[in-house]
Amino acid sequence: MSPASFRLGDFDCHVLYDGSRSIGSMTEGSAMRFVFGDAPEAEVEAALGPYGGISPDTRIHFNYLLAENEGHLTLLDVGCGDQAENDENPDEPAGLLVKSLGEAGFSVDDVDTVVVSHGHWDHFGGAVTAGKATFPNAEYVMSAKEAEYINAKAEGWAREYLRVLGDKLRLLPDVAEVAPGVTVKVAPGHTPGIAVTELSSRGETLLYTSDIILHPIHVEHTDWIPSFETDKVAAAAGRRRLIEDAHRRRLLLFVPHIPGVLGTVKRAGTGYMWADDHRSA
């Protein structure tokens, strides 16, 4: 289980649960290939042993981060929202982020800054509700490279979202500070403009990884790349850099699709491994 809230320096951080969805609902192909791509099947099965394996019934969890600091409220990704397609998946509800926001004691009106890591439905789908910006008082930010990719390649709903957001959306260069202690950095591979976000305060730094990591095994095997990356070579190189940097700088990682969300990178022989972090407020 993920913590409901935790402290990072002067940040009050809240984990917002948006639901979950089985791998089988997202692909008709192999669940293993969906998450680990062309990695050797026998090696993946052996590595998955401690995690109970993987199957079409395996749930992908959706957790996002609300960070409060110096009077600013920053939301990292907006969940599935109107793109959850709950009618087609009645036993696997998603798009619960606004409900979780209320349970944390906030409303959509309170959010100052919304960081959109990339344009996939489970990270961008909640940006617009019923044709209007879900967070009416917030500035939305996204990398300029990701907006360009959405306009060129993405599904129609994502392009429509960019149109609806209009001048509420600020497009970022490859590195930009968007709020006190909140820095967004482009890390292409999963999509051409996907971004990770660092929260830094009082000598502590958290890295929100978005979809650079989907499973703890991805820390051990940086070259086991999901089947749906736009650039597998760039994705593997970017993940390797992220893991090495997280270990060197002793970063706390927030991984949206790992159920416990928080962890660190530890040495394991000549490589690395994921270690859960169980902090709470």
Give the model's pLDDT for residue 156.
Answer: 93
Sorted by where each starts, the structural domains of the chain and their CATH numbers stand as 5-276 (3.60.15.10)
* DSSP 8-class letter at 138: P
Task: 148-151: list long-range contacts, CB under 8 Å, 24+ apart.
Answer: 148/192, 148/193, 149/119, 149/191, 149/192, 149/193, 149/230, 150/119
| Residue keyed to tokens 């395996």 | 58
- Write out the DSSP string of 56-91: TTPEEEEEEEEEEETTEEEEE---SGGGS-TTT-TT
Q: Is the pLDDT of residue 2 over 70?
A: no
Whole-number Å distance between alpha carbons of 133 and 49: 43
Give the model's pLDDT for residue 1.
Answer: 53
155-173 burial, b if ≥16 CB within 10 A, otherwise e?
eeebbebbeebeebbebbe
Output the CA angle 54-56-59, nearest 5 degrees.
75
Mean pLDDT over residues 184-193, rounded? 98
pLDDT tens column, 217-270: 999 999 999 999 999 999 999 999 999 999 999 999 999 999 999 999 999 999
**0.85 exceeded by pTM:** yes
Q: Is the pLDDT of residue 281 over 60?
A: no
Q: Is the pLDDT of residue 26 over 80?
A: yes
Mean pLDDT over residues 198-214, rounded? 98
State the chain's mean pLDDT as an integer.
96
Local confidence band at 278 (pLDDT 50, 70, 90 cut-offs): confident
Token code pair at residue 94: 């998603």
pLDDT tens column, 154-177: 779 999 999 999 999 999 999 999
Residues 6+ apart with CB under 8 A from 199: 8, 11, 13, 67, 69, 181, 182, 205, 206, 208
- Amino acid identity for residue 167 in this structure: D
pLDDT tens column, 98-153: 999 999 999 999 999 999 999 999 999 999 999 999 999 999 999 999 999 999 98
Whole-number Å distance between alpha carbons of 241 and 198: 15
Identify whether the C-beta of residue 116 lies closer than 8 Å to the C-beta of residue 140.
yes
